[in-house]
Chain A
Amino acid sequence: MVRKEPSNEIAYEIRWKSAVVTATDPAHFAGVGKLAAVSGTVFTHGTPSVTFSADQGTADKEKEVLTLEGNVKLTAVDGNSVVKGTTVLCDLMTYATADQIIKAEGRVSAVSSQFSMGPVPEAWCSNTLSQIASPSNFVPVRHNQPAPTHS
């Protein structure tokens, strides 16, 4: 499944091994559903920036929110970034194309060749993983991102 931003740039790409979709909700078919053993890629300005994997996930087409649950692993892959190789681990992750902030919850930790941090109950990350902060300290303007949507 490929989710595109309004600019027609790819926001993220998700793959899975099996899926359960609620048949009584055809409007959300192929949009919402438990996808098992998911993996995929988040794109920033059309370039792969973060790869991910998790036990399961949902991609809500209507809300344009990607949710990953269970053994979530995110890895920065942008070859031009100094944080390439940075890995974030957590229990739950949501990524909305509206604000492009990776919101990680549950035993969040991050590690790279340069640093390690955690565990924290919650962290917001830029979609390149170059910035990791508590929700109250996240500064989206540094990355020219839209204002965050606090849920």
Chain B
Amino acid sequence: MTRSSAASVLLLACGVASAVLTGTRGQGASFTWGELKVTNIDPEHYSFDFATGKFSILGHPRLHATMSKKHLTVDSARLDGTADTTTKTMKTAKLSGGVKGQMESTTKDGDEHLSFAGPTVTYTSVGAATDQLADIDVSGGANFATSNASLGRTLSLSGSHGLFRVQSGDNAALQTADLDGPVTMHYDGVQVSVDRSKKPPVTSRSPVSGVAVGGHLTVSRAGNGNYLVRMSGGVHLKEVTGPNAGAEINTTAVNLEFDTSGTLVRFGSDAESTATVPVGKARG
């Protein structure tokens, strides 16, 4: 055998060895428990204790988890969870490392898309398994968004920490939220205005978008299902597009009400405020 052919054989052998190692190391493992399915698990870092329901998984480098009944998908670097060994449902899951989650549902108003992201997310099932309610606690910088392309509506929230209660499953929707500041809220959708100077009052719908920053934000649901958003702690709000585009408000707190489809139906402040309205936009 010549020196060059020996070298070729050596290189080939190294290549085969490398391919075998890559193939073994490159394949992520999978895990299913009830409706939870996790793929792309690091085959060298996992632990399952089926007696207690506790498990810990590292991604390879990121894991992908789905909960089909909840229409939930999550990507993260690590997952530490506890499942109910009797009902086979997830009780809690702590996700860490660039967590990105999504929920999808099809409503009468079109496809609803919820997303959340943050360095650490704790997911906790709330109520009975059939309730499909969950608390999503995002810390270290929280981002949450809900959008409906059919309605042309997007609401995004960010804060240093956020606790979101969501309804998952076929009717995925945000139920309540509590964000610590600094909080930023972006809204892009439709505003309903009622001109009561007309007889009878004239209702108009117009595209509107705006951004608000404040110290704290809560979302709750009214008896009729509407979303009540209250931002407090020194609020600066600006209407970017819409009937009062360019208008800015500085106040202690603002209250916004959205109907169940996410249309802005009411806006107000229960505290002393100052407003600046661009020339030509002020209404009498």
Contacts and interface: CB of A to CB of B under 8 A. Distances in A.
A121 B46 CA distance: 12
A130 B51 contact: yes
A83 B50 CA distance: 7
B30 to A, nearest CB: 7
B85 A82 contact: yes
Contact of A115 (B29, B31, B46): B31
Nearest to B42: A134
A134 B51 contact: no
B98 to A, nearest CB: 21
Contacts of A116: 30-32
A16 interface: no
A120 B85 CA distance: 23
Given A82-B51, A131-B50, A117 B45 contact: no
Contact of B48 (A115, A119, A121, A136): A115
Interface in A98-151: 112, 114-122, 128-134, 136-139, 142
Nearest to B43: A120
Nearest to A142: B49
A114 B88 contact: yes
Contacts of B150: none
Size bin of chain A's contact surface: 20 to 34
B89 to A, nearest CB: 11
A47 interface: no
B30 A117 contact: yes
Nearest to B37: A116
Interface of B: 24, 27, 29-34, 43-51, 56, 85, 88
A86 interface: yes
A81 interface: yes
B-side interface mostly: strand
Which 5 residue pairs across A and B have the least CB separation, nearest first? A133-B47, A137-B47, A130-B51, A120-B43, A115-B33
Interface of A: 81-83, 86, 112, 114-122, 128-134, 136-139, 142
Contact of B49 (A121, A131, A136): A131
A114 B85 contact: yes
Nearest to B50: A83
A143 to B, nearest CB: 9
Interface centre among B27, B29, B56 (most CB of A within 10 A): B29
A64 to B, nearest CB: 26
Given A114-B88, A115-B32, A134 B50 contact: no
Given A82-B85, A136-B44, A117 B49 contact: no
A65 B104 CA distance: 52
A132 B125 CA distance: 25
Nearest to B48: A132
A134 B49 contact: no
Contacts of B32: 115-117
Contacts of B48: 115, 117, 131-133
A115 B85 CA distance: 10
